[in-house]
Amino acid sequence: MRIAVVGSYGVGFTVQSARLPIAGETILGTGFTQGPGGKGSNQAVAAARLGAEVSFLTALGEDEYAAAARRLWQTERINVEAVLSIKQSHTMAAWIVVEPSGDNRIIVVPGALDYLTPAAVRGFTSQIVAADVLMTSFEIPLEAAIEALRIGRQAGTTTLLNPAPARTLPDEAWDLIDVVTPNQTEAAVLLGLDPQAVPDQASLATELARRVGRAAVMTLGGQGALLAQAGELLAVPAVPVERVVDTTGCGDAFSGALAVGLAQGRPLPDAVRLATAAGAHAASIAEVVPSLPTWDQLKGWKQ
């Protein structure tokens, strides 16, 4: 299994709090952690822990956070020879507030990721061509993500888009995507709809699947996922979790495992079931990287 990831790396500053402050208010939190993050890096780690050979392209500042990133990737055996170092900027940072329910709210400052250009992505072409699956998301400049999808399409590599943070997708980009994995809000934004007044989940998933090459997988949190392909819908139930601790890494665990399932050649329903199991595991453990599962940790899931 070979997976190429074009995406983000950043350091995450996570605060546990009983609630969010209102404007002008200061409140006391209940906990704080700092650690590696960024959707691209998290998804690369998730895929590598499930046995994939992963190549990763991102951009870092030249700071202590970049050094920590490279130590992480070495530990996880991820190929990062193409990663850019940007002297004039900082490594991406994200501030995450986690409430007692496990729900989270995130603010991202891109920093060096603003320098990840289409030209840089073209320098990653050999890795994309050699991969079974290309995975990207929108924590990088939109034109870089689209260039990665374009190269993947031209190479015949399966293209997987996790469209977060949500943006309206240019018309020419739809034909470059095999599988898209939004949540319900992201699905509405992709289609240019008001997230506060969206049609039902089935209509959103069906329309997304009609626009892309193969399928749409709408993630529904504790409800599981909805798979739309070839005019058909399949509801994939969530794997039960004894206690939800932190949902921050669930989407990245889901995406990484789905990429692995696709790279293994699994039927899409099986790949989605694998992804929901990985996402459920992530919800039961605090912080993102510690929550990304290995096969041993998914041994209860029928492979």
DSSP per position, 107-140: EEE-GGGGG--HHHHHTTHHHHHH-SEEEEESSS
**What residues does 6 pair with on adjacent strands?**
57, 136
For residue range 251-273, what is the model confidence (pLDDT) as tens digits? 999 999 999 999 999 999 999 99
Mean pLDDT confidence for 212-239: 92
Domain extents for the chain? 2-17+31-292
Cα–Cα distance list, 274 to 144, 204, 234 (Å) = 29, 23, 15
Rounded-to-integer distance, Cα 152 and Cα 89, Å: 29
Q: Which of 132, 178, 246, 252 is catalytic?
A: 252
Confidence of residue 301 (pLDDT cuts 50, 70, 90): low
194 is catalytic: no
Rounded-to-integer distance, Cα 41 and Cα 6, Å: 9
Query: Is the pLDDT confidence value at 302 over 80?
Result: no
Query: Is the pLDDT confidence value at 108 over 90?
Result: no
Would you say the pTM of this structure is higher than 0.75? yes
Cα–Cα distance list, 17 to 21, 245, 285 (Å) = 9, 13, 17
DSSP string, 259-272: HHHHHTT--HHHHH
Q: Which residues contact 146 (CB under 8 A, 6 or more apart)?
A: 118, 170, 173, 176
Output the pLDDT for position 245. Answer: 85
- What fold does the segment set 2-17+31-292 form as a domain? UDP-N-acetylmuramoyl-L-alanine:D-glutamate ligase (3.40.1190)
Rounded-to-integer distance, Cα 252 and Cα 59, Å: 19
**Residues counted in the chain:** 303
For residue range 277-288, what is the model confidence (pLDDT) as tens digits? 999 999 888 888
Q: Is 182 helix (H, G, I), strand (E, B) or coil?
A: coil
Name the token pair of 17.
């709090």
Radius of gyration of the chain (CA): 18
